[in-house]
Amino acid sequence: MLLSDSVADAPLKHLHLVDSHCHLDQLDLTPYDGDIDAAIEAAREAGVGRILAMSTQPGDVAELTALARRHPIVEVAVGAHPLHPLEHEPSLEDMQALVERYEPAAIGEIGLDFIDDVPKVPKAVQLERFATMLKLSSDTELPVSVHTRGARHETLELITRHSRPEVGGVLHCFTDELSFAREAVELGFYISMSGIVTFKNAANVRELAKAIPLDRLLIETDSPWLAPVPMRGKPNEPKNVGRVAETIAEVRGISVEEVVMQTSANFYRLFSRIR
């Protein structure tokens, strides 16, 4: 599926877009001569009013927090990605200390990834890590950004056991079955669409974008990965999040303004410490 010219060319800088999940410390900054500040400014000029930067390991949070202090549109999440090997598995107390020191807006990126028969991080370690991060979320009342692949049952089981619906979170870059999304929504979660929704071979994801209630949708880039059409195959960045909103508007038959306003409102409702 390709965006129509009228949609693709629609200016969005007058709106307040939100990139609810990206990795600022891993962007390809070649177009900006290595200047991360210029990449963030490019996003702001494209209408992006907030960027939630994920940690893939606890040690990332200091650098990301320093970046956020320079740029008011940047917010930070602290977590440990399920496929990121760690020399030392952080305890709940370790993570609580990081939250107290850096005051992040969310816990992420966390979750489970069992798509490979032999994952980079053993399944047992992933399960323990995810449980710890969900307990952290519950204790600190910070919502989570969850990566889940090939682990539907385990994801829902641990969320049910350790997460609080009033705190909740989001299943990011969601491409799974609608029934999974419905169960997550019942547990207080939102569902986030990435650039995958624009891919020609992702009709199932566009069906999800149509079926999930608009008041439970978020949008993201997951940059530097998953650049939307027509940038597919190139490094992604937060300024491209508008393409996700445009495609959702097109498949739902509503205005892009409505999609942006609702997904941004959803973001601030979920991540309530962000103002």
Residue 275 lies inside a defined structural domain of this protein: no
CA-based end-to-end distance of the chain:
35
Residue 232 lies inside a defined structural domain of this protein: yes
Q: What is the pLDDT of residues 247-260, one digit of tens each?
A: 999 999 999 999 99
**pLDDT of 2 over the 80 cut:** no
- Structural domain boundaries, residue 197: 5-270
Residue 103 lies inside a defined structural domain of this protein: yes
Q: What is the pLDDT of residues 96-155, one digit of tens each?
A: 999 999 999 999 999 999 999 889 999 999 999 999 999 999 999 999 999 999 999 999
Residue 261 lies inside a defined structural domain of this protein: yes
CATH number at residue 243: 3.20.20.140
150-165 b/e (C-beta count within 10 Å ≥ 16 → b): ebbebbbebbeebbbe
pTM score of the predicted model: 0.94
Total structural domains within the chain:
1
**pLDDT on residue 11:** 61
